[in-house]
Structure 1
């Protein structure tokens, strides 16, 4: 057992006005199974990178163990998986196969090209690789991405039997199963909780209720101070008119008393200005006490209903690679205007491959009949690492309405100071928001979304639910979150062997 100690940590990216961490202090026991939570862009992945020593920072981080980050980067994705993994870490084949069996992954996938594995299979094989290491401390970033319900349970069971680690995830059920401590990155501080996500959620709700009550009290006081300041300002202006008197006044008040009245008005106005300034000073102090609870704004979508009643019809689709057997049993379905159709099934069965086939990017062989009129399509990719450059350049390259694009990014919770960053410098959650905001800003008759909830926090998920219920777009979606699919009224088409 060791102790990870963070002392007076201060860090922010050069182009950001606000710091991500300022004079942060934290002590973590290496035996803890620590869940790291917080809204996207708050610095979860950045904190892991700081623990890895990737960035220069102020303060001190004492880390007696060797940190190892998940997911590892696979550069040679066209190689067989076994050889692609050897480029990343040293391991014995039997060790890797042992871990793959423990995580419910067939070791035979080692002899397939890495790029042909499903997202869930890639996640599992990289987790298995992680735990072949010795004398290390795991930093696990979003291990539930791309996993179906069964796959998430496999990974949860797997991690329950491992020693201490830090894990980042937005999957509440998963965190409740695998963690015993929770670290929340909130707007103004790091808050450590003894317990899983449910414990954090319960205690956070109590804190939020207290802050809401305080906010209501402070806002009421601010309103009162603003009214008083306005009254003082109006009174000050009315006193100033006394210097010259009313035009109708003659004799004693209009001309001959101006010196006396002017001096008196000047003293009165000075006092009123001082009072007014004190009011505004108090307002500024009170407003500075307000804790901005998470605001969730409505998103916008450039959906244009098609004149076609049917946008997709697939009959007896079969996909396969070279001489291998078909990925799934012959598939037939249709997508009518104003409906959401979800492709479901276990990882590796070919859900994303169906989307690639529809978009003309499937690398294998296909048979079946596709009927699709010429319609505008907007696509949210599962992998979007090639999104690069500034947001403005990205918008121009994708012919986006820049204002609508930025507006949705802001509503998704991206801080304005991040707008100046290169996309490749952003967190994975922020980069996912760029991909999603791109789709929302594109004029389209049909939306094809591949696992849109990956990296999105629960606030963003609720925003998408509300948007889709409001706009009722025509959509073909691949997503594992059953609660989300049920809430948006998706018609589910299951792929089977």
Structure 2
């Protein structure tokens, strides 16, 4: 039975059509993975199905009475509603009526008339059934219906939103990047839930393992067309490659016929006989078709900017321990990191992976034990929280900091040419970071990261929102990287392709070492910690557990330091004022039209003053701490 039929649907937002005369069906019981490059229109297609957009042409037909549930890609801001209230928003009319009814009941002098009105709304909409359904779904998903939504982590909020999508018992459940913000344990739980779901699934995901476990069919959106392929993903790749080979051969034949007809017309155009007019019309039709032909989008083609070789020893940890409050995060962990190791850190969110990375990089002192760092280390850090990017900067400035050329692999390259390797068109390179999509932001972070010479890569969730082609290229480049890699990821396929060793966080501070990646960990009996063994490392302040440590003497500002501290507000104000003046000068539309001998000194001075300002701020914080 067909739930949805697309018949010749056309939809455009800009010059190129996102959907170009698309025809396909969604059948009852299918679990469909929708795949395609970032920006091809996958989210738009799902919004068309939900009725948020109307097609420019063609028809979308729905099965009678069909209900659609939707899990959005982005998480909403946290608020003070309870989990039950958020879930009941999945049936908004009766949901809000139920909550208002319950609030009135608790009042000392309830409004009986309003209660009667609400009760009618609830009964007409089968609201008491939905309340029972909401409580059942909440219980099944392991949620507490009285918890405040805004106090939950990203992964738990996503679980609440999934309950919201399920409460109306949808015939079709649409999921846009459902594994975002989820750790591997939660992803596996979601897979089991969706495999038990009785309805039809349509989802977008860049998690190859998730697709392989859930999808029964793969629909590929490419250049405005939808084509169905078999699952799993490896089979889809084989079938897609064959389809592209057939397309290439067909287009070559079309080009050959077109060239022959063009030659014939040039020879026979003087004799415009009636019998030739049909061929002339056919030639015009072929020319029109050729003009509308859409070529394959180019692939990313970046390389990692490798620095000089580090020492053979990268880091040695001996009985390293760290705690937050009374909860051990790392307990007597010992291992040696050698040059060329590619180590994956796995474990639930909040268990301490980022804490261990900070200790390894010297940003955090272990509370006991010893860390010995190697020599000649040059670190490039992929920042999961994306704090490395200023949303008001252009793409060019985010990578090159005002320069036109950057050095990659010992060679000078124009920054726009470099950004093209990451699929940014030249005309988009001067747009603001805040205008980018999630996948584009991640590509820009990779462009920034790989422009820095490095022999130690620290990658914290680098795969979020990346399309499959870019992900595969990233895997290839990291595999070829001769330096050392520390990797935090919830993408099991990504880990299995890269990791030579895994540090598994197994709860209560225990970290076990396994050779290989995620699959090797599971095959060797690795298990996730129980819920009570996962610590929230973000909310508590660390307690120093070093033993036999003599109390440190309280430091005070010397006369010289105090004088420096007193003068700093004025100095910071002067530097900020100069930075603002220089930035206004650089942002002027006519600035880059001036010769390099004019723009160069201004850009150099801007970088110099910004660096001075950062150092002054750091020194001010240091002195303020001593004063306190």
**Aligned partners of 1:71 and 1:126 also within 8 Å:** no
Does residue 463 (structure 1) correspond to residue 496 (structure 2)? The answer is no
> 2:419 and 2:477 mapped to 1: Cα distance?
14
SS of the residue 2:328 aligns to: coil
Return the offset for 1:449. 0.4
Deviation sequence 1:357-378 (CA, Å, 0-9, x none):
556888x996654444795432
Query: Taking structure 1 as reference, are residues 306 and 193 closer, same or farther at Cα in structure 2, changes over 3 Å only?
Result: closer
Does residue 47 (structure 1) correspond to residue 83 (structure 2)? The answer is no
**In structure 2, what is the equivalent of residue 448 of structure 1?**
458
**Aligned partners of 2:221 and 2:227 also within 8 Å:** yes
What does residue range 168-247 of structure 1 map to in structure 2 within 5 Å? 168-192=204-228, 200-201=236-237, 203-214=239-250
> 2:86 and 2:225 mapped to 1: Cα distance?
39
The structure with higher relative contact order (CA 8 Å, sep 6+) is: 1
**In structure 1, what is the equivalent of residue 166 of structure 2?**
131
SS of the residue 1:185 aligns to: strand
SS of the residue 1:436 aligns to: helix
> 1:456 and 1:94 mapped to 2: Cα distance?
39
Q: Return the TM-score normalized by structure 2.
A: 0.56
1:157 counterpart (176, 183, 192) = 192
**In structure 2, what is the equivalent of residue 241 of structure 1?**
none
> 1:170 and 1:482 mapped to 2: Cα distance?
12
Return the offset for 1:452. 1.8
**In structure 2, what is the equivalent of residue 11 of structure 1?**
12
**In structure 2, what is the equivalent of residue 331 of structure 1?**
333
**In structure 2, what is the equivalent of residue 273 of structure 1?**
none
Q: Return the TM-score normalized by structure 1.
A: 0.68
**In structure 1, what is the equivalent of residue 520 of structure 2?**
none
Deviation sequence 1:248-294 (CA, Å, 0-9, x none):
xxxxxxxxxxxxxxxxxxxxxxxxxxxxxxxxx99988976987456
**In structure 1, what is the equivalent of residue 623 of structure 2?**
none
**In structure 2, what is the equivalent of residue 36 of structure 1?**
34
SS of the residue 1:465 aligns to: helix
**In structure 2, what is the equivalent of residue 388 of structure 1?**
391
> 2:432 and 2:171 mapped to 1: Cα distance?
32
> 1:339 and 1:399 mapped to 2: Cα distance?
34
> 1:480 and 1:156 mapped to 2: Cα distance?
14
SS of the residue 2:465 aligns to: coil
SS of the residue 1:208 aligns to: helix
**Aligned partners of 1:100 and 1:124 also within 8 Å:** no
Unaligned runs of 5+ in 2: 90-94, 96-129, 267-283, 407-412, 508-628
> 1:377 and 1:495 mapped to 2: Cα distance?
24
Query: Taking structure 1 as reference, are residues 62 and 471 closer, same or farther at Cα in structure 2, changes over 3 Å only?
Result: same
SS of the residue 1:430 aligns to: helix
Does residue 352 (structure 1) correspond to residue 354 (structure 2)? The answer is yes
Query: Taking structure 1 as reference, are residues 290 and 450 closer, same or farther at Cα in structure 2, changes over 3 Å only?
Result: same
> 1:400 and 1:5 mapped to 2: Cα distance?
50
Query: Taking structure 1 as reference, are residues 291 and 52 closer, same or farther at Cα in structure 2, changes over 3 Å only?
Result: closer
Query: Taking structure 1 as reference, are residues 399 and 57 closer, same or farther at Cα in structure 2, changes over 3 Å only?
Result: farther
Does residue 300 (structure 1) correspond to residue 310 (structure 2)? The answer is no
1:491 counterpart (501, 523, 531) = 501
**Aligned partners of 1:338 and 1:474 also within 8 Å:** yes
What does residue range 388-467 of structure 1 map to in structure 2 within 5 Å? 388-389=391-392, 390-395=394-399, 406-407=416-417, 409-413=419-423, 419=429, 422-467=432-477
Does residue 143 (structure 1) correspond to residue 187 (structure 2)? The answer is no
Return the offset for 1:440. 1.3
Aligned length: 437
> 1:133 and 1:365 mapped to 2: Cα distance?
50
SS of the residue 1:305 aligns to: coil
**Aligned partners of 1:95 and 1:132 also within 8 Å:** yes
Query: Taking structure 1 as reference, are residues 289 and 25 closer, same or farther at Cα in structure 2, changes over 3 Å only?
Result: closer
Query: Taking structure 1 as reference, are residues 467 and 74 closer, same or farther at Cα in structure 2, changes over 3 Å only?
Result: same
**Aligned partners of 1:312 and 1:336 also within 8 Å:** yes
Query: Taking structure 1 as reference, are residues 194 and 469 closer, same or farther at Cα in structure 2, changes over 3 Å only?
Result: closer
> 2:484 and 2:313 mapped to 1: Cα distance?
10
**Aligned partners of 1:41 and 1:414 also within 8 Å:** no
**Aligned partners of 1:46 and 1:427 also within 8 Å:** no
Unaligned runs of 5+ in 1: 233-280
Query: Taking structure 1 as reference, are residues 340 and 137 closer, same or farther at Cα in structure 2, changes over 3 Å only?
Result: same
> 2:293 and 2:255 mapped to 1: Cα distance?
8
Query: Taking structure 1 as reference, are residues 170 and 477 closer, same or farther at Cα in structure 2, changes over 3 Å only?
Result: same
> 2:404 and 2:86 mapped to 1: Cα distance?
39
Deviation sequence 1:315-357 (CA, Å, 0-9, x none):
444455444x224544333433443222233455332343355
SS of the residue 1:20 aligns to: strand
Query: Taking structure 1 as reference, are residues 29 and 409 closer, same or farther at Cα in structure 2, changes over 3 Å only?
Result: farther
> 1:190 and 1:220 mapped to 2: Cα distance?
27
Return the offset for 1:89. 6.0
Deviates more, 1:384-393 or 1:169-178: 384-393
